[in-house]
Structure 1
Amino acid sequence: MNLTSLLTHRHPWSSRPCLNRLVRLGTGLKDRLVTRHTNVFIQQRREQTSQVHGERPALVVPLSWAATTATVPFANLGDALSPVIVSALSGLPVMHHHFDARTERLTCVGSIGHQVKHGTIHLWGTGARARPLLKPPSQHWNRLVQTHYCVHALRGPLSAQLFQQQGLDIPDVYGDPVWFLPAIVPPAPEKKYELGIIVHLSELNGGTDRSTVNERFLRYHIPDALASQVRIITTITRPSFDALEEKLHEITACKRIASTSLHGLVLAETYRIPCVYFRTQGRGVAFPHLKDETERIDLRMRDFYRGIGSETLFVYGQPRPRPTNWEHLIQAIDTHWIPIHWSAESFLERFPLPLAFNPLIEQLGDRTRFQSLQL
Structure 2
Amino acid sequence: MRGRRFGNMGDLFGPIIVAAHTGQPVQFTPSTSLRQRLISVGTIGQKQRLGRVDVWGAGFGGAQESGFAVPRGFRHPHFTRFMPHALRGPFSAALLRESGYAVPDVYGDPAMLLPRLWSGEGIAKRWELGVVIHLSEIEQRSPTAGARPDFLRYAIPETLRGAVTVINTVVDRGVEPVRQRVEEILACRRILSTSLHALVVAEAYGIPCAGFDIHAGKPGRFHAADHAVPIDHRMRDFYAGVGQPEVLLYRQERHLQTDWEDACRFIDRHWQPLSYNASRLLEAFPRHLGTPEAVPGQEAMRRLSTLAPLDQA
User: What TM-score, normalized by structure 1, do the two folds share?
Assistant: 0.76
| Structure 2 residue aligned with 1:173 | 106
| Structure 2 residue aligned with 1:213 | 147
Displacement of 1:262 in angstroms is 0.6
1:337 aligns to 2:271 (yes or no): yes
> 1:217 & 1:79 partners in 2: Cα distance?
25
The one-letter amino acid paired with 1:367 is M
Alpha carbons of structure 1 residues 171 and 212: separation in structure 2 relative to 1, 3 Å: same
RMSD: 1.9
Alpha carbons of structure 1 residues 313 and 119: separation in structure 2 relative to 1, 3 Å: same
Q: Aligned to 2:227, which of 293, 298, 304?
A: 293
Contact 1:106/1:122 (8 A) holds in 2: yes
Displacement of 1:206 in angstroms is 1.1
| Structure 2 residue aligned with 1:149 | 82
| Structure 1 residue aligned with 2:247 | 313
| Structure 2 residue aligned with 1:85 | 17
Displacement of 1:136 in angstroms is 6.4
List aligned pairs for 1:343-354, cutoff 5 A. 343-353=277-287, 354=290
> 1:330 & 1:283 partners in 2: Cα distance?
17
> 2:112 & 2:70 partners in 1: Cα distance?
29
Displacement of 1:117 in angstroms is 2.1
Contact 2:282/2:292 (8 A) holds in 1: no
> 1:90 & 1:175 partners in 2: Cα distance?
18
| Structure 1 residue aligned with 2:256 | 322
> 1:296 & 1:316 partners in 2: Cα distance?
12
| Deviation sequence 1:117-168 (CA, Å, 0-9, x none) | 222111100101226887863xx52232x22211101111111111112111
| Structure 2 residue aligned with 1:374 | 309
Contact 1:357/1:364 (8 A) holds in 2: no
Alpha carbons of structure 1 residues 151 and 135: separation in structure 2 relative to 1, 3 Å: closer
Q: Aligned to 2:92, which of 138, 147, 159?
A: 159
1:358 aligns to 2:255 (yes or no): no
SS at match of 2:244: coil
Q: Aligned to 2:200, which of 249, 256, 266?
A: 266
For structure 1, the residue ranges without an aligned partner over 5 or more in a row are 1-67
The one-letter amino acid paired with 2:99 is Q
| Structure 2 residue aligned with 1:50 | none
| Structure 1 residue aligned with 2:117 | 184
Displacement of 1:356 in angstroms is 4.4
SS at match of 1:89: helix
Displacement of 1:228 in angstroms is 1.4
| Structure 2 residue aligned with 1:59 | none
1:223 aligns to 2:157 (yes or no): yes
SS at match of 1:173: coil
The one-letter amino acid paired with 1:143 is P
Displacement of 1:288 in angstroms is 1.2
> 2:188 & 2:222 partners in 1: Cα distance?
26
Displacement of 1:186 in angstroms is 2.4
The one-letter amino acid paired with 2:178 is L
Displacement of 1:73 in angstroms is 2.5
The one-letter amino acid paired with 1:368 is R
| Deviation sequence 1:253-308 (CA, Å, 0-9, x none) | 11100011111111100010000111111344311111110101000000111112
| Structure 2 residue aligned with 1:74 | 6
Contact 1:123/1:154 (8 A) holds in 2: yes
> 2:44 & 2:27 partners in 1: Cα distance?
17
Q: Aligned to 2:41, which of 109, 118, 122?
A: 109
The one-letter amino acid paired with 1:171 is P
| Deviation sequence 1:211-246 (CA, Å, 0-9, x none) | 220001111000111111101000000011111111
SS at match of 1:329: helix
The one-letter amino acid paired with 2:141 is G
> 1:276 & 1:134 partners in 2: Cα distance?
19
Displacement of 1:195 in angstroms is 0.5
> 1:136 & 1:98 partners in 2: Cα distance?
24
SS at match of 1:334: helix
SS at match of 1:287: strand
For structure 2, the residue ranges without an aligned partner over 5 or more in a row are none
> 1:74 & 1:305 partners in 2: Cα distance?
28
> 2:283 & 2:30 partners in 1: Cα distance?
26
Contact 2:20/2:300 (8 A) holds in 1: no
Q: Percent of aligned pairs with the same residue? A: 36
Contact 1:74/1:237 (8 A) holds in 2: yes
Deviates more, 1:279-288 or 1:164-173: 279-288
Contact 1:143/1:166 (8 A) holds in 2: no
1:96 aligns to 2:28 (yes or no): yes
**Count of paired positions:** 302
> 2:77 & 2:42 partners in 1: Cα distance?
19
